[in-house]
Structure 1
Amino acid sequence: MFDFMYDLPEWAMFVSCVLLVGGLSAAALALMYALRRLWPPGSHGPNMVNTMLSGILLPTGMVITFVAADIWQQDAKGRTAVEKEAVAVADTMRVVKFLPADLREQVTGVLDDYIREVVENEWPLMGEGRASQIAEDQLETLMVISVRIEAGTDGLGVQRAAEALRRYTMAIEKARNQRLLVSHSRVMPTKWIAVLVLLFVAACVLSELHMTQRRPLILSLTLFSLGFGATLYLIASFDRPFTGTTIIEPTSLSVLLVRG
Protein backbone atom coordinates (compact mmCIF):
# COMPACT_ATOMS: atom_id res chain seq x y z
CA MET A 1 0.00 0.00 0.00
CA PHE A 2 2.92 2.32 0.69
CA ASP A 3 5.27 0.74 -1.86
CA PHE A 4 6.04 3.99 -3.65
CA MET A 5 7.27 5.61 -0.43
CA TYR A 6 10.25 3.28 0.02
CA ASP A 7 12.04 4.81 -2.94
CA LEU A 8 11.75 8.29 -1.44
CA PRO A 9 14.18 10.07 0.91
CA GLU A 10 13.29 9.92 4.59
CA TRP A 11 11.97 13.48 4.72
CA ALA A 12 9.84 12.93 1.62
CA MET A 13 8.36 9.80 3.14
CA PHE A 14 7.43 11.78 6.27
CA VAL A 15 5.85 14.55 4.18
CA SER A 16 3.92 11.97 2.14
CA CYS A 17 2.40 10.47 5.30
CA VAL A 18 1.43 13.90 6.63
CA LEU A 19 -0.10 14.83 3.27
CA LEU A 20 -2.00 11.53 3.21
CA VAL A 21 -3.68 12.30 6.53
CA GLY A 22 -4.11 15.89 5.39
CA GLY A 23 -5.91 14.64 2.30
CA LEU A 24 -8.20 12.52 4.47
CA SER A 25 -8.89 15.58 6.64
CA ALA A 26 -9.70 17.71 3.60
CA ALA A 27 -12.05 15.03 2.27
CA ALA A 28 -13.72 14.77 5.68
CA LEU A 29 -14.14 18.54 5.83
CA ALA A 30 -15.70 18.63 2.37
CA LEU A 31 -18.07 15.79 3.27
CA MET A 32 -19.21 17.35 6.53
CA TYR A 33 -19.65 20.74 4.88
CA ALA A 34 -21.86 19.18 2.21
CA LEU A 35 -23.88 17.31 4.85
CA ARG A 36 -24.32 20.51 6.84
CA ARG A 37 -25.74 22.23 3.77
CA LEU A 38 -28.05 19.35 2.95
CA TRP A 39 -28.95 18.47 6.56
CA PRO A 40 -28.53 21.44 8.92
CA PRO A 41 -27.51 20.51 12.49
CA GLY A 42 -30.04 20.62 15.30
CA SER A 43 -29.60 22.25 18.66
CA HIS A 44 -28.08 19.12 20.23
CA GLY A 45 -25.55 18.46 17.46
CA PRO A 46 -22.40 19.79 19.20
CA ASN A 47 -22.98 17.74 22.36
CA MET A 48 -23.26 14.58 20.31
CA VAL A 49 -20.07 15.41 18.41
CA ASN A 50 -18.15 16.16 21.61
CA THR A 51 -19.07 12.76 22.98
CA MET A 52 -18.25 10.99 19.74
CA LEU A 53 -14.80 12.58 19.43
CA SER A 54 -13.44 10.80 22.50
CA GLY A 55 -15.28 7.64 21.46
CA ILE A 56 -13.68 7.49 18.01
CA LEU A 57 -10.15 8.46 19.08
CA LEU A 58 -9.97 5.55 21.53
CA PRO A 59 -10.45 2.73 18.99
CA THR A 60 -8.26 4.63 16.51
CA GLY A 61 -5.40 4.71 19.02
CA MET A 62 -5.94 1.04 19.92
CA VAL A 63 -5.85 -0.11 16.30
CA ILE A 64 -2.70 1.92 15.59
CA THR A 65 -1.10 0.47 18.74
CA PHE A 66 -1.84 -3.10 17.64
CA VAL A 67 -0.43 -2.47 14.17
CA ALA A 68 2.69 -0.82 15.61
CA ALA A 69 3.22 -3.71 18.06
CA ASP A 70 3.30 -6.18 15.16
CA ILE A 71 5.84 -3.96 13.37
CA TRP A 72 8.18 -3.78 16.37
CA GLN A 73 8.01 -7.56 16.83
CA GLN A 74 8.95 -8.20 13.21
CA ASP A 75 11.78 -5.69 13.40
CA ALA A 76 13.10 -7.35 16.57
CA LYS A 77 12.87 -10.80 14.94
CA GLY A 78 14.84 -9.55 11.94
CA ARG A 79 17.61 -8.06 14.06
CA THR A 80 17.80 -11.19 16.23
CA ALA A 81 18.04 -13.41 13.15
CA VAL A 82 20.90 -11.31 11.72
CA GLU A 83 22.80 -11.46 15.00
CA LYS A 84 22.30 -15.23 15.32
CA GLU A 85 23.51 -15.71 11.77
CA ALA A 86 26.62 -13.64 12.46
CA VAL A 87 27.34 -15.59 15.66
CA ALA A 88 26.97 -18.91 13.83
CA VAL A 89 29.33 -17.72 11.08
CA ALA A 90 31.87 -16.61 13.71
CA ASP A 91 31.63 -20.00 15.43
CA THR A 92 32.18 -21.71 12.07
CA MET A 93 35.32 -19.64 11.51
CA ARG A 94 36.70 -20.77 14.85
CA VAL A 95 35.98 -24.45 14.10
CA VAL A 96 37.67 -24.25 10.69
CA LYS A 97 41.02 -23.63 12.40
CA PHE A 98 41.05 -27.26 13.58
CA LEU A 99 40.77 -28.70 10.07
CA PRO A 100 43.73 -29.71 7.88
CA ALA A 101 45.20 -26.90 5.80
CA ASP A 102 43.65 -27.96 2.48
CA LEU A 103 40.19 -28.42 3.97
CA ARG A 104 40.53 -25.23 5.98
CA GLU A 105 41.19 -23.20 2.85
CA GLN A 106 38.27 -24.81 1.05
CA VAL A 107 35.78 -24.16 3.85
CA THR A 108 37.06 -20.64 4.47
CA GLY A 109 36.73 -19.81 0.78
CA VAL A 110 33.12 -21.00 0.63
CA LEU A 111 32.29 -19.20 3.88
CA ASP A 112 33.80 -15.92 2.68
CA ASP A 113 31.92 -16.23 -0.60
CA TYR A 114 28.69 -16.82 1.35
CA ILE A 115 29.16 -13.71 3.50
CA ARG A 116 30.02 -11.60 0.47
CA GLU A 117 27.01 -12.90 -1.46
CA VAL A 118 24.66 -12.19 1.43
CA VAL A 119 26.00 -8.68 2.10
CA GLU A 120 26.36 -7.52 -1.51
CA ASN A 121 23.54 -9.30 -3.32
CA GLU A 122 21.01 -10.97 -1.04
CA TRP A 123 20.45 -7.89 1.15
CA PRO A 124 19.15 -5.76 -1.73
CA LEU A 125 17.04 -8.71 -2.93
CA MET A 126 15.33 -8.99 0.47
CA GLY A 127 13.90 -5.53 -0.04
CA GLU A 128 11.89 -7.09 -2.87
CA GLY A 129 10.99 -10.18 -0.84
CA ARG A 130 13.46 -12.39 -2.71
CA ALA A 131 16.53 -14.46 -1.78
CA SER A 132 19.83 -15.40 -3.39
CA GLN A 133 20.03 -18.90 -4.81
CA ILE A 134 23.83 -18.60 -4.81
CA ALA A 135 23.83 -18.14 -1.02
CA GLU A 136 21.56 -21.16 -0.70
CA ASP A 137 23.94 -23.25 -2.80
CA GLN A 138 26.94 -22.14 -0.76
CA LEU A 139 25.30 -23.29 2.46
CA GLU A 140 24.56 -26.64 0.85
CA THR A 141 28.22 -26.85 -0.19
CA LEU A 142 29.32 -26.24 3.39
CA MET A 143 26.98 -28.96 4.60
CA VAL A 144 28.28 -31.44 2.00
CA ILE A 145 31.89 -30.64 2.91
CA SER A 146 31.24 -31.18 6.62
CA VAL A 147 29.54 -34.53 6.01
CA ARG A 148 32.32 -35.66 3.66
CA ILE A 149 35.01 -34.73 6.18
CA GLU A 150 33.14 -36.43 9.00
CA ALA A 151 32.72 -39.66 7.02
CA GLY A 152 36.13 -39.71 5.40
CA THR A 153 38.49 -39.33 8.35
CA ASP A 154 39.47 -41.48 11.32
CA GLY A 155 40.98 -38.64 13.34
CA LEU A 156 38.86 -37.89 16.41
CA GLY A 157 39.77 -34.21 16.44
CA VAL A 158 38.93 -33.71 12.77
CA GLN A 159 35.68 -35.66 13.17
CA ARG A 160 34.57 -33.45 16.04
CA ALA A 161 35.52 -30.34 14.07
CA ALA A 162 33.44 -31.65 11.15
CA GLU A 163 30.50 -32.32 13.49
CA ALA A 164 30.73 -28.77 14.82
CA LEU A 165 31.01 -27.43 11.28
CA ARG A 166 27.82 -29.25 10.30
CA ARG A 167 26.02 -28.03 13.42
CA TYR A 168 27.03 -24.40 12.89
CA THR A 169 26.12 -24.59 9.20
CA MET A 170 22.64 -25.69 10.24
CA ALA A 171 22.51 -22.75 12.66
CA ILE A 172 23.46 -20.37 9.84
CA GLU A 173 20.76 -21.85 7.64
CA LYS A 174 18.15 -21.58 10.39
CA ALA A 175 18.99 -17.94 11.12
CA ARG A 176 19.00 -17.12 7.40
CA ASN A 177 15.58 -18.71 6.94
CA GLN A 178 14.22 -16.60 9.81
CA ARG A 179 15.76 -13.49 8.25
CA LEU A 180 14.14 -14.27 4.90
CA LEU A 181 10.76 -14.87 6.55
CA VAL A 182 10.92 -11.46 8.22
CA SER A 183 11.82 -9.85 4.89
CA HIS A 184 8.45 -11.08 3.54
CA SER A 185 6.46 -9.59 6.41
CA ARG A 186 4.10 -6.72 5.55
CA VAL A 187 1.24 -4.93 7.26
CA MET A 188 -1.91 -6.41 5.71
CA PRO A 189 -3.87 -4.02 3.46
CA THR A 190 -6.97 -4.61 5.59
CA LYS A 191 -5.16 -3.18 8.61
CA TRP A 192 -4.09 -0.08 6.67
CA ILE A 193 -7.67 0.37 5.42
CA ALA A 194 -9.01 0.11 8.98
CA VAL A 195 -6.52 2.72 10.22
CA LEU A 196 -7.31 5.13 7.37
CA VAL A 197 -11.08 4.73 7.80
CA LEU A 198 -10.81 5.46 11.53
CA LEU A 199 -8.66 8.52 10.82
CA PHE A 200 -11.22 9.71 8.28
CA VAL A 201 -14.06 9.33 10.79
CA ALA A 202 -12.06 11.20 13.45
CA ALA A 203 -11.41 14.00 10.96
CA CYS A 204 -15.15 14.13 10.20
CA VAL A 205 -15.92 14.55 13.89
CA LEU A 206 -13.30 17.31 14.25
CA SER A 207 -14.68 19.08 11.20
CA GLU A 208 -18.24 18.97 12.50
CA LEU A 209 -17.16 20.12 15.94
CA HIS A 210 -15.33 23.25 14.68
CA MET A 211 -17.25 23.91 11.46
CA THR A 212 -18.49 27.32 12.60
CA GLN A 213 -15.08 28.45 13.94
CA ARG A 214 -12.50 28.97 11.23
CA ARG A 215 -9.33 29.23 13.35
CA PRO A 216 -10.01 26.17 15.62
CA LEU A 217 -11.04 24.22 12.52
CA ILE A 218 -7.80 24.90 10.65
CA LEU A 219 -5.60 24.38 13.72
CA SER A 220 -7.28 21.15 14.81
CA LEU A 221 -7.15 19.56 11.36
CA THR A 222 -3.55 20.71 10.81
CA LEU A 223 -2.37 19.30 14.15
CA PHE A 224 -4.42 16.15 13.53
CA SER A 225 -2.73 15.67 10.14
CA LEU A 226 0.74 16.32 11.55
CA GLY A 227 0.36 14.07 14.58
CA PHE A 228 -1.21 11.06 12.89
CA GLY A 229 0.91 11.61 9.77
CA ALA A 230 4.02 11.22 11.93
CA THR A 231 2.50 8.07 13.44
CA LEU A 232 1.84 6.56 10.01
CA TYR A 233 5.38 7.48 8.95
CA LEU A 234 6.82 5.65 11.94
CA ILE A 235 4.76 2.53 11.25
CA ALA A 236 5.37 2.55 7.49
CA SER A 237 9.12 3.11 7.79
CA PHE A 238 9.52 0.11 10.10
CA ASP A 239 7.00 -2.03 8.21
CA ARG A 240 9.76 -3.63 6.14
CA PRO A 241 12.92 -4.19 8.23
CA PHE A 242 15.09 -4.80 5.15
CA THR A 243 13.68 -1.99 2.99
CA GLY A 244 13.82 1.78 3.07
CA THR A 245 15.53 4.23 5.39
CA THR A 246 15.20 2.10 8.55
CA ILE A 247 16.77 -0.96 6.94
CA ILE A 248 18.56 -3.49 9.15
CA GLU A 249 22.14 -3.30 7.96
CA PRO A 250 24.39 -6.40 7.61
CA THR A 251 27.00 -4.74 9.82
CA SER A 252 27.82 -7.80 11.93
CA LEU A 253 28.33 -9.98 8.84
CA SER A 254 30.43 -7.29 7.14
CA VAL A 255 32.71 -7.14 10.17
CA LEU A 256 33.26 -10.90 9.97
CA LEU A 257 34.12 -10.58 6.28
CA VAL A 258 36.77 -7.97 7.10
CA ARG A 259 38.14 -10.11 9.93
CA GLY A 260 38.24 -13.15 7.70
Structure 2
Amino acid sequence: MFGATYIVALILHQVIAALSAGSTARSFKALSPGMLPPLGIIFGLFVAFTAAQVWSDNDRANAAVNREASALRSVVVLASSFPGQPEARLRALVRSYIEETTSQEWPLMAESAATLTIIPPPLHQALRTTLALAPGNPGQEIAQREMTRALEDAFEARRQRVLVSSAQVNPTKWACLILQAFCALLAIAVVHSDNRMGIGDRSWKFCDRRGGIRSANSRPRPALHGRDRSITATVAAGHAGSQCGRRWMIQAGVPRRANSVAL
Protein backbone atom coordinates (compact mmCIF):
# COMPACT_ATOMS: atom_id res chain seq x y z
CA MET A 1 0.00 0.00 0.00
CA PHE A 2 3.02 2.31 0.29
CA GLY A 3 3.33 2.37 -3.49
CA ALA A 4 -0.38 3.09 -4.07
CA THR A 5 -0.33 5.94 -1.56
CA TYR A 6 2.70 7.59 -3.15
CA ILE A 7 1.28 7.13 -6.65
CA VAL A 8 -1.95 8.90 -5.65
CA ALA A 9 0.05 11.72 -4.06
CA LEU A 10 2.22 12.04 -7.18
CA ILE A 11 -0.82 12.19 -9.48
CA LEU A 12 -2.45 14.86 -7.31
CA HIS A 13 0.81 16.79 -7.23
CA GLN A 14 1.12 16.77 -11.02
CA VAL A 15 -2.54 17.62 -11.65
CA ILE A 16 -2.62 20.53 -9.20
CA ALA A 17 0.74 21.79 -10.46
CA ALA A 18 -0.56 21.78 -14.02
CA LEU A 19 -3.80 23.54 -13.06
CA SER A 20 -2.02 26.14 -10.95
CA ALA A 21 -0.08 27.29 -14.00
CA GLY A 22 -3.28 28.38 -15.72
CA SER A 23 -6.19 30.62 -14.92
CA THR A 24 -7.32 28.44 -12.00
CA ALA A 25 -4.34 29.46 -9.88
CA ARG A 26 -6.22 32.46 -8.51
CA SER A 27 -9.21 30.32 -7.49
CA PHE A 28 -6.90 27.97 -5.56
CA LYS A 29 -6.04 30.88 -3.29
CA ALA A 30 -9.63 30.86 -2.05
CA LEU A 31 -8.84 27.78 0.01
CA SER A 32 -7.41 28.94 3.31
CA PRO A 33 -4.46 27.12 4.92
CA GLY A 34 -6.59 27.02 8.05
CA MET A 35 -8.49 24.12 6.50
CA LEU A 36 -5.53 21.78 6.85
CA PRO A 37 -5.57 21.34 10.67
CA PRO A 38 -9.28 20.31 10.79
CA LEU A 39 -8.75 17.85 7.97
CA GLY A 40 -5.77 16.37 9.80
CA ILE A 41 -7.72 16.13 13.04
CA ILE A 42 -10.64 14.36 11.35
CA PHE A 43 -8.23 11.94 9.69
CA GLY A 44 -6.59 11.25 13.06
CA LEU A 45 -9.99 10.54 14.63
CA PHE A 46 -10.82 8.01 11.90
CA VAL A 47 -7.48 6.31 12.53
CA ALA A 48 -8.10 6.26 16.29
CA PHE A 49 -11.57 4.73 15.90
CA THR A 50 -10.21 2.04 13.59
CA ALA A 51 -7.28 1.27 15.88
CA ALA A 52 -9.59 1.07 18.91
CA GLN A 53 -11.55 -1.75 17.31
CA VAL A 54 -8.36 -3.63 16.46
CA TRP A 55 -7.03 -3.25 20.01
CA SER A 56 -10.36 -4.42 21.44
CA ASP A 57 -10.36 -7.52 19.22
CA ASN A 58 -6.79 -8.26 20.24
CA ASP A 59 -7.67 -8.06 23.94
CA ARG A 60 -10.66 -10.35 23.45
CA ALA A 61 -8.53 -12.85 21.55
CA ASN A 62 -5.85 -12.92 24.25
CA ALA A 63 -8.44 -13.37 26.99
CA ALA A 64 -10.17 -16.24 25.14
CA VAL A 65 -6.94 -18.07 24.38
CA ASN A 66 -5.63 -17.73 27.94
CA ARG A 67 -8.95 -18.97 29.30
CA GLU A 68 -8.90 -22.00 27.01
CA ALA A 69 -5.32 -22.85 27.93
CA SER A 70 -6.09 -22.60 31.65
CA ALA A 71 -9.17 -24.80 31.28
CA LEU A 72 -7.23 -27.53 29.45
CA ARG A 73 -4.46 -27.38 32.04
CA SER A 74 -7.00 -27.78 34.83
CA VAL A 75 -8.44 -30.89 33.19
CA VAL A 76 -4.97 -32.44 32.89
CA VAL A 77 -4.17 -31.71 36.54
CA LEU A 78 -7.52 -32.89 37.92
CA ALA A 79 -7.44 -36.07 35.83
CA SER A 80 -4.81 -37.41 38.23
CA SER A 81 -7.62 -37.83 40.78
CA PHE A 82 -8.78 -40.81 38.72
CA PRO A 83 -5.60 -42.88 38.29
CA GLY A 84 -5.41 -45.62 35.73
CA GLN A 85 -7.50 -45.85 32.59
CA PRO A 86 -9.71 -42.75 33.20
CA GLU A 87 -6.67 -40.51 33.67
CA ALA A 88 -4.90 -41.87 30.59
CA ARG A 89 -8.08 -41.50 28.55
CA LEU A 90 -8.64 -37.88 29.54
CA ARG A 91 -5.02 -36.91 28.95
CA ALA A 92 -5.07 -38.56 25.52
CA LEU A 93 -8.26 -36.70 24.57
CA VAL A 94 -6.84 -33.33 25.65
CA ARG A 95 -3.66 -34.04 23.70
CA SER A 96 -5.70 -34.98 20.63
CA TYR A 97 -7.76 -31.81 20.91
CA ILE A 98 -4.66 -29.61 21.12
CA GLU A 99 -3.04 -31.31 18.14
CA GLU A 100 -6.22 -31.04 16.07
CA THR A 101 -6.69 -27.39 16.99
CA THR A 102 -3.13 -26.31 16.22
CA SER A 103 -2.87 -28.27 12.98
CA GLN A 104 -6.35 -27.75 11.51
CA GLU A 105 -8.48 -25.15 13.24
CA TRP A 106 -5.96 -22.35 13.74
CA PRO A 107 -4.85 -22.25 10.10
CA LEU A 108 -8.54 -21.88 9.25
CA MET A 109 -8.83 -19.07 11.78
CA ALA A 110 -5.96 -17.28 10.06
CA GLU A 111 -8.06 -17.28 6.89
CA SER A 112 -11.30 -16.41 8.78
CA ALA A 113 -12.72 -19.76 7.67
CA ALA A 114 -13.18 -21.43 11.08
CA THR A 115 -16.75 -22.41 11.98
CA LEU A 116 -18.71 -23.16 15.13
CA THR A 117 -21.04 -25.67 13.48
CA ILE A 118 -18.62 -28.55 14.09
CA ILE A 119 -17.85 -29.49 17.69
CA PRO A 120 -14.31 -30.82 18.19
CA PRO A 121 -14.74 -34.58 18.75
CA PRO A 122 -11.87 -34.92 21.28
CA LEU A 123 -13.28 -32.17 23.50
CA HIS A 124 -16.76 -33.64 23.25
CA GLN A 125 -15.46 -37.10 24.14
CA ALA A 126 -13.54 -35.66 27.08
CA LEU A 127 -16.73 -34.13 28.45
CA ARG A 128 -18.64 -37.40 28.03
CA THR A 129 -15.84 -39.38 29.68
CA THR A 130 -15.79 -36.97 32.61
CA LEU A 131 -19.55 -37.21 33.14
CA ALA A 132 -19.36 -41.03 32.97
CA LEU A 133 -16.80 -41.27 35.79
CA ALA A 134 -17.91 -42.99 39.01
CA PRO A 135 -16.40 -41.08 41.94
CA GLY A 136 -15.37 -43.28 44.87
CA ASN A 137 -14.86 -40.56 47.46
CA PRO A 138 -15.73 -36.86 48.07
CA GLY A 139 -12.42 -35.76 46.59
CA GLN A 140 -13.16 -37.45 43.28
CA GLU A 141 -16.65 -35.93 43.28
CA ILE A 142 -15.13 -32.46 43.56
CA ALA A 143 -12.56 -33.27 40.87
CA GLN A 144 -15.27 -34.51 38.50
CA ARG A 145 -17.33 -31.38 39.04
CA GLU A 146 -14.32 -29.10 38.46
CA MET A 147 -13.26 -30.99 35.32
CA THR A 148 -16.76 -30.62 33.91
CA ARG A 149 -16.66 -26.91 34.60
CA ALA A 150 -13.20 -26.60 33.04
CA LEU A 151 -14.31 -28.38 29.88
CA GLU A 152 -17.33 -26.09 29.60
CA ASP A 153 -14.96 -23.13 29.92
CA ALA A 154 -12.83 -24.59 27.13
CA PHE A 155 -15.91 -24.83 24.89
CA GLU A 156 -16.85 -21.22 25.61
CA ALA A 157 -13.28 -19.97 25.11
CA ARG A 158 -13.09 -21.77 21.78
CA ARG A 159 -16.32 -20.13 20.68
CA GLN A 160 -14.95 -16.70 21.58
CA ARG A 161 -11.66 -17.10 19.71
CA VAL A 162 -13.43 -18.42 16.60
CA LEU A 163 -15.78 -15.42 16.64
CA VAL A 164 -12.88 -13.01 17.07
CA SER A 165 -11.02 -14.64 14.17
CA SER A 166 -13.84 -13.61 11.82
CA ALA A 167 -14.08 -10.04 13.13
CA GLN A 168 -13.09 -7.31 10.72
CA VAL A 169 -13.05 -3.56 10.37
CA ASN A 170 -16.24 -2.30 8.80
CA PRO A 171 -15.69 -1.46 5.09
CA THR A 172 -17.50 1.83 5.69
CA LYS A 173 -14.78 2.86 8.14
CA TRP A 174 -12.09 2.03 5.59
CA ALA A 175 -13.95 3.99 2.91
CA CYS A 176 -14.23 7.03 5.18
CA LEU A 177 -10.57 6.77 6.14
CA ILE A 178 -9.41 6.57 2.52
CA LEU A 179 -11.72 9.40 1.44
CA GLN A 180 -10.49 11.61 4.25
CA ALA A 181 -6.86 10.87 3.36
CA PHE A 182 -7.55 11.77 -0.26
CA CYS A 183 -9.21 15.03 0.77
CA ALA A 184 -6.27 15.90 3.00
CA LEU A 185 -3.79 15.26 0.19
CA LEU A 186 -5.90 17.33 -2.20
CA ALA A 187 -6.14 20.22 0.26
CA ILE A 188 -2.37 20.16 0.85
CA ALA A 189 -1.78 20.26 -2.90
CA VAL A 190 -4.19 23.17 -3.46
CA VAL A 191 -2.99 25.26 -0.52
CA HIS A 192 0.66 24.91 -1.57
CA SER A 193 0.00 25.03 -5.30
CA ASP A 194 2.25 28.09 -5.67
CA ASN A 195 5.10 26.41 -3.82
CA ARG A 196 6.33 23.33 -5.69
CA MET A 197 8.77 22.32 -2.96
CA GLY A 198 6.20 22.85 -0.22
CA ILE A 199 3.50 20.75 -1.86
CA GLY A 200 5.88 17.88 -2.50
CA ASP A 201 7.41 17.90 0.98
CA ARG A 202 4.08 17.99 2.81
CA SER A 203 2.43 15.41 0.54
CA TRP A 204 5.27 12.92 1.06
CA LYS A 205 5.18 13.42 4.84
CA PHE A 206 1.43 12.76 4.89
CA CYS A 207 1.96 9.65 2.76
CA ASP A 208 4.56 8.39 5.23
CA ARG A 209 2.01 8.59 8.04
CA ARG A 210 -0.78 6.97 6.02
CA GLY A 211 1.50 4.24 4.69
CA GLY A 212 2.66 3.50 8.23
CA ILE A 213 -0.95 2.93 9.25
CA ARG A 214 -1.40 0.49 6.38
CA SER A 215 1.77 -1.42 7.21
CA ALA A 216 0.66 -1.77 10.84
CA ASN A 217 -2.42 -3.61 9.60
CA SER A 218 -0.54 -6.12 7.45
CA ARG A 219 -1.18 -9.79 8.25
CA PRO A 220 1.52 -12.17 9.48
CA ARG A 221 1.25 -15.88 8.83
CA PRO A 222 0.47 -18.40 11.60
CA ALA A 223 3.39 -20.12 13.27
CA LEU A 224 3.73 -22.95 15.78
CA HIS A 225 6.37 -23.18 18.51
CA GLY A 226 7.07 -25.92 21.06
CA ARG A 227 8.73 -25.99 24.50
CA ASP A 228 9.90 -28.86 26.73
CA ARG A 229 7.06 -28.73 29.23
CA SER A 230 4.30 -26.99 27.32
CA ILE A 231 2.44 -26.79 24.07
CA THR A 232 2.78 -23.31 22.66
CA ALA A 233 1.14 -22.42 19.42
CA THR A 234 0.79 -18.99 17.87
CA VAL A 235 -1.80 -18.00 15.35
CA ALA A 236 -1.65 -14.53 13.88
CA ALA A 237 -4.98 -13.86 12.28
CA GLY A 238 -5.71 -10.87 10.23
CA HIS A 239 -7.27 -9.56 7.13
CA ALA A 240 -5.47 -8.19 4.13
CA GLY A 241 -6.57 -4.91 2.62
CA SER A 242 -9.75 -4.14 4.55
CA GLN A 243 -8.99 -6.08 7.70
CA CYS A 244 -6.52 -5.79 10.57
CA GLY A 245 -4.21 -8.36 11.95
CA ARG A 246 -4.45 -10.05 15.31
CA ARG A 247 -1.93 -12.37 17.05
CA TRP A 248 -3.06 -15.21 19.30
CA MET A 249 -1.11 -17.56 21.62
CA ILE A 250 -2.36 -20.57 23.56
CA GLN A 251 -0.32 -22.39 26.16
CA ALA A 252 -1.54 -25.66 27.67
CA GLY A 253 0.95 -27.31 29.96
CA VAL A 254 1.24 -30.85 28.59
CA PRO A 255 4.45 -32.92 28.62
CA ARG A 256 6.16 -33.84 25.35
CA ARG A 257 7.52 -37.25 24.32
CA ALA A 258 10.47 -37.41 21.92
CA ASN A 259 9.78 -34.95 19.09
CA SER A 260 5.99 -35.06 19.28
CA VAL A 261 3.35 -33.95 21.76
CA ALA A 262 2.38 -36.59 24.30
CA LEU A 263 0.49 -36.73 27.51
Higher relative contact order, chain-length normalized (CA < 8 Å, sep 6+)? 1
Q: Output the aligned Cα RMSD.
A: 2.8
1:251, distance to aligned residue in structure 2 (A): 5.0
Aligned position for 2:96 = 113
- Give structure 2 stretches of 5+ with no counterpart: 221-234, 257-261
3-state DSSP class of the match of 1:250? strand
Conserved 8 A contact 1:119-1:250: no
Relative distance call for 1:188 and 1:219 in structure 2 (3 A) is: same
Alignment of 1:120-139 (within 5 A): 120-131=103-114, 136-139=120-123
Aligned position for 1:6 = none
3-state DSSP class of the match of 2:237? coil
- Letter of the 2:187 counterpart: V
CA distance in 1, matches of 2:21, 2:195: 16
Using the size of structure 2 for normalisation, the TM-score is: 0.80
CA distance in 2, matches of 1:78, 1:36: 51
Q: Deviations over 1:68-100 (max 9, x none)?
A: 011011011111111111111111111101013
1:63 to 34, 40, 46: 46
Q: Deviations over 1:101-128 (max 9, x none)?
A: 1111111100000111112221111011
Relative distance call for 1:144 and 1:34 in structure 2 (3 A) is: farther
- Letter of the 1:49 counterpart: S
Alignment of 1:77-92 (within 5 A): 77-92=60-75
**Identical pairs, percent:** 21
- Give structure 1 stretches of 5+ with no counterpart: 1-16
Q: Deviations over 1:118-171 (max 9, x none)?
A: 12221111011233787622221111111111xx44543333222111110001
The structure with more helix, counted as a fraction of residues: 1
CA distance in 1, matches of 2:142, 2:64: 26
1:248, distance to aligned residue in structure 2 (A): 2.4
3-state DSSP class of the match of 2:24? coil
The structure with more strand, counted as a fraction of residues: 2
Aligned position for 2:247 = 248
Conserved 8 A contact 2:130-2:144: yes
Aligned residues: 239
Conserved 8 A contact 2:71-2:153: yes
CA distance in 2, matches of 1:60, 1:243: 23
Conserved 8 A contact 1:49-1:208: no
Aligned position for 1:203 = 185
Moved more, 22-31 or 113-122: 22-31
